[in-house]
Copies of this chain bind each other. A is one copy, B any other.
Amino acid sequence: MAVYTDVSDEALRAFLSAYDIGALTAFRGIAEGVENSNFVLRTTGGTTGGAAGNAKGGVAGSDFILTLYERRVNPEDLPWFLGLMGYLSDHGLSCPRPVAARDGAALRVLAGRPAAITTFLPGVWPRAVTEAHCGPVGAALARLHLAGQGYDAVRPNALGPGSWPGLLDSCRRDGDSVQPGLVAELDAALAEILPAWPAPGALPRGQIHADLFPDNVFFLDGAVSGIIDFYFACTDILAYDVAICLNAWCFDAQGRFDAARSRALIAGYESVRPLGEAERAALPVLAAGAAMRFLLTRLYDWVNTPAGAMVTRKDPLDYLPRLRFHRAASAGALPGAADHGF
């Protein structure tokens, strides 16, 4: 859940006084987002451009999101994240736009945490993914990739393949408590995936979202109305972002691959940015790697979180059927997309 830090009345008042967004009229903690504390902030509306709704002083006011960045986010990365969001927003992507205070700075401090106000996006994230969502989300991902091309600053992917052996090592002692044999299976999968991983420069790179799960994509009337939560974004292989989405959107609740959703997602993506031959051929190993990445970070959290801690641990085993599928579909010889239907 998503209010780890609460904000005192006086601190909030002082914080908002730095902005030209009008007077506070409502303030509610929101339950979504796992890493940070988020609040919906309503004001009477101000002079800041880009606010949702009728920001120019309409009676119903303007809504914003106030985010306090908690310990999972490295404060040194925040200028890059906020810069990317502003850039993508300026280039036509519907994503949260950081709102600058009067002094020009969007990244500030509140309640001892780095904090920023961003615009509120309309829409509802899909609780039950269907094939109909997959085309629009693929297209939105491609638009994100194209829009990000002019954002030059590089942020390496701290959770890329180079990090996976170390993550697995730190789960080696306790990993089998989650499922017997798990560590050996992940060792074998890593030994298959890492040598097959695309060489630097082999595939187009750029700014990727790297966490485009359904709860980060808002829909309105069947179209994508917003993409949120850029706090895993980084500079990496664009097709890896597609592979992350394949895992996040194209498996059913029982962990079974849904080829129709996959085809729809890729077709949606290619309606905006066609994949090259090399990208398409690499999708199986990228998808296996994407499954490995989420399995490992969830496993790390699982074995390193005290059982009584008041946090939601996501089940690492959700990602085991995905990993197995990508390995089996490639018949032990990644890459190779025989049964993927890619």
Q: Which residues of A contact B (CB under 8 A)?
A: 1-3, 6-10, 12, 24-32, 40, 42, 53-54, 58-62, 120-124, 126-128, 218, 220, 307-308, 310, 312
SS of A interface (majority):
loop
CB nearest to A220 among chain B residues = B25
Show 18 residue pairs from A and B whose CB-CB distance is below 8 angstroms, ordered by the A residue.
Answer: A7-B127, A8-B127, A8-B128, A25-B220, A26-B120, A26-B122, A26-B123, A26-B124, A28-B31, A28-B32, A31-B31, A42-B122, A54-B60, A58-B58, A58-B60, A60-B62, A307-B308, A308-B308
- One complex includes copies of this chain to the number of 2
- Chain B residues with CB under 8 A of A7: 127
CB nearest to A29 among chain B residues = B31
A226 to B: closest C-beta gap in Å? 9
Further pairs besides A25-B122, A26-B122, A308-B308: 4, Cβ < 8 Å: A10-B128, A26-B123, A30-B31, A59-B60
- Chain B residues with CB under 8 A of A59: 53-54, 58, 60
A39 to B: closest C-beta gap in Å? 8
- Chain B residues with CB under 8 A of A122: 25-26, 42
A218 to B28, CA, bound (A): 11
A123 to B: closest C-beta gap in Å? 6
The 9 closest A-B pairs by CB, nearest first: A60-B60, A29-B31, A1-B1, A53-B60, A27-B124, A3-B31, A31-B31, A8-B127, A25-B122
- Chain B residues with CB under 8 A of A31: 1-3, 28-31
